[in-house]
């Protein structure tokens, strides 16, 4: 009798427990919401043995994946990120406050800096701005900033400005898995290689502009405006500020100071340094040539002004003879020669005309007129 009472009491409770368990089994487990990269992220990819994994994961998930697997790194590309985005990226990849602050600003001088386990490579981007003709306000060269943050398992590129997009760089380096297998420094090589290519392209366009300016300055009609030449010189100086300072960081990378690229990539950086030296030489030559052109044009303007002054002085001398004769005969004295002479007036006009013609021929012979 006692066992029946206990069973009657236990059966409803067991039934309710079984029902709850069966109900939970029928429920679909909640899905974890997929994280989406912010708008400042241009691309994010995980590379395994030099080959890109499918998809475009969130940068935090991608970096977590690289920390679990060997021969893996993540490449995160950012374009003008905001403070909140850059702070979040810094927390994931271990950037200190200084690195985050540098990534948010532009105008940095090209350099290679070591911050703990992170290496920062700064370069300037450059692009040629096509224009129908050179004016006093023409923009010829557009520059920007490129910062490459390198770690053991990641590379973060931060770009400021409209020029220097890295989509083609990513496509080209992904077709070279043997190079990309060298790790994050392979991306640094691809970025610097692209920057130097842009420098050489801009230098070629500037050479054409310089030829046109040189022709206009030394042409017979000399229609070149000094303001146009000076504007081109300002653009060349801006381009020079982007190109020349990168030479020292590239030498440091090739020499392997403060870490630098692995030995397998060292020869590729040597090639980039060689082409960069060629770009530096060309930009320096353009700057010197423009300085000479500006000085030549200023000398031409001085000569033209001197010629104008000589012409004015010559015509003033011719006019002065007429004024002198007319002034003498306009004094109205009673006793003056030729006042009562019948041919006095024509004779005075003849003297004035003879003096004018004589002076004109004299000034023409000396080159004043």
Single residue among 301, 326, 348 that ends a domain in this structure: 301
What is the structure's pLDDT at 33?
Answer: 57
Q: Tell me the C-alpha distance between 346 and 352, whole Å.
A: 10
Instruction: Please determine, for residue 29, whether its predicted confidence score (pLDDT) is greater than 80.
Output: no
End-to-end Cα distance, the chain: 144
Check whether residue 186 and residue 89 sit in a common domain.
yes
- Which pLDDT band holds residue 26 (cuts at 50, 70, 90)? very low
Residue 207 included in any domain: yes
Indicate the number of domains in the chain. Answer: 2
- 171, 203: one domain: yes
Distance (Å, whole) CA 323 – CA 367: 24
Using one digit for the tens of pLDDT, what is the confidence trace for 163-202? 888 999 999 999 999 999 999 999 999 999 999 999 999 9
Q: Is residue 88 part of a domain?
A: yes
Q: Does 23 score more than 80 pLDDT?
A: no
Q: Are residues 251 and 337 in the same domain?
A: no
Provide the mean pLDDT of the chain.
Answer: 83
pTM for this predicted structure: 0.75
Q: Among 255, 279, 301, which residue terminates a domain?
A: 301
CA atoms within 13 A on the CB side of 293: 28
Q: How many Å apart are CA 362 and CA 232, to the nearest integer?
A: 43
Token pair 């066992």: residue: 3
Count of all residues that appear for the chain in the document: 369
Across the range 280-295, mean pLDDT stands at 89
| 174: Cβ contacts below 8 Å, ≥ 6 apart | 51, 52, 180
Residue ending a domain, choose from 280, 301, 322: 301
**Minimum mean pLDDT among 16-30, 114-128, 213-227, 351-365: which range?**
16-30
Q: Which of 110, 245, 244, 240 is nearest to 188 (CA)?
A: 110
Residue 237, φ and ψ in degrees, nearest 5: -65, -40
- Specify if 13 maps to a domain: no
For residue 11, being part of any structural domain is answered with no
User: Do 125 and 237 belong to one domain?
Assistant: yes
Report if residue 181 sits inside a domain. yes
Confirm whether 34 is domain-assigned. Answer: no
80 and 227 together in one domain: yes
Look at the alpha carbons of 251, 252, 257, 262 in this order and tell me if their dihedral is positive or negative: negative
**Which percentage of the chain shows pLDDT scores above 70?**
86
Residue owning tokens 């980039």: 272
What confidence score (pLDDT) does residue 232 get?
Answer: 87
CATH of the domain at 78: 3.30.460.20
Asked whether residue 174 is domain-assigned, the answer is yes
- pLDDT, average across residues 87-109: 92
Contact of 185 with 262, CB cutoff 8 Å:
yes
Domain containing 116 equals: 41-301
Task: Give the tokens for residue 194.
Answer: 């692209």
């Amino acid at each position: 009798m006692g066992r029946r009472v206990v069973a009657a009491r236990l059966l409803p409770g067991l039934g309710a427990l079984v029902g709850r368990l069966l109900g939970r089994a029928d429920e679909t487990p909640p899905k974890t919401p997929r994280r989406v990269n912010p708008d400042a992220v241009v691309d994010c990819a995980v590379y395994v043995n030099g080959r890109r994994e499918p998809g475009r994961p969130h940068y935090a998930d991608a970096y977590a994946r690289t920390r679990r697997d060997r021969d893996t790194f993540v490449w995160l590309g950012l374009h003008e990120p905001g403070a909140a985005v850059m702070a979040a990226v810094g927390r994931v990849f271990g950037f200190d406050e200084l690195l985050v602050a540098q990534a948010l600003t532009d105008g940095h001088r090209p350099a290679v800096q070591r911050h703990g386990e992170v290496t920062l490579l700064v370069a300037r981007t450059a692009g040629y701005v096509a224009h129908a003709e050179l004016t006093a306000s023409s923009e010829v060269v557009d520059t920007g900033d490129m910062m490459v943050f390198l770690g053991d398992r990641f590379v973060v590129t931060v770009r400021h400005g409209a020029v220097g997009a890295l989509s083609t760089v990513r496509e080209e380096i992904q077709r070279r898995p043997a190079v990309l297998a060298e790790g994050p420094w392979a991306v640094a090589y691809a970025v610097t290689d692209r920057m130097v290519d842009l420098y050489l392209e801009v230098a070629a366009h500037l050479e054409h502009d310089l030829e046109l300016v040189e022709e206009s300055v030394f042409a017979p009609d000399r229609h070149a405006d000094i303001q146009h030449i000076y504007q081109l010189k300002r653009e060349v100086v801006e381009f020079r500020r982007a190109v020349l300072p990168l030479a020292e960081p590239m030498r440091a990378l090739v020499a392997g100071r403060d870490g630098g690229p692995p030995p397998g990539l060292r020869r590729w950086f040597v090639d980039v340094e060689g082409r960069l030296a060629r770009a530096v030489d060309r930009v320096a030559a353009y700057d010197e040539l423009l300085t000479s052109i500006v000085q030549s044009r200023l000398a031409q303007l001085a000569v033209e002004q001197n010629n104008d002054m000589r012409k004015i002085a010559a015509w003033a001398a011719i006019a002065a003879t007429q004024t002198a004769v007319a002034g003498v005969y306009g004094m109205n004295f009673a006793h003056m020669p030729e006042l009562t002479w019948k041919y006095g007036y024509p004779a005075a006009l003849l003297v004035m005309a003879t003096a004018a013609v004589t002076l004109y021929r004299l000034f023409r012979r000396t080159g004043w007129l």
